[in-house]
Amino acid sequence: MALNKFRFACNEEKLNELLSYALAGIVQSNLDRLDMPAMTPSLDLLYAHRGLSYEDEVEFYFLPHGNGIKNAPIDFVVISDLLFNPGEAGLYSYDEFARGLCMELMKQSEGNDARREGAMKLVQRYGLQKYTGN
């Protein structure tokens, strides 16, 4: 018996909205906290633990979980909406997630050199260069 029952978003528009909503908050917090000493960025926690509950709004799960294997490949990302649609989730390929993450990093750092530099550091840290479109 499953502990959590998910209702998966049923169309592409809802999936895109959920991905965009989930990434907007986590990217903003990471760009805002880049220069804060002793503050572990949320994306570091997500990649290290292959899952994260963020601000009681969304949960991210990387699949397969990896069982503690560092740098194990990620095939899928499940995002669950806890705030607006509790129990609703979206299943994304890692490529979809990474492309969305890069787009959000570029969008939120546009027009600000310091934020863009921070965004590019995050792109490098998580090996997302192939998703930047450059």
Q: What's the mean per-residue pLDDT of the chain? A: 86
Burial 114-125 (b: 16+ CB within 10 A, else e): ebbebbbebbee
CA dihedral of 53, 44, 24, 35, whole degrees rounded to 10: 130
Sign of CA pseudo-dihedral 122, 132, 46, 63: negative
Output the pLDDT for position 20. Answer: 94
Q: Per-residue confidence at 6, pLDDT binned at 50, 70, 90? A: low
Which pTM value belongs to this model?
0.86
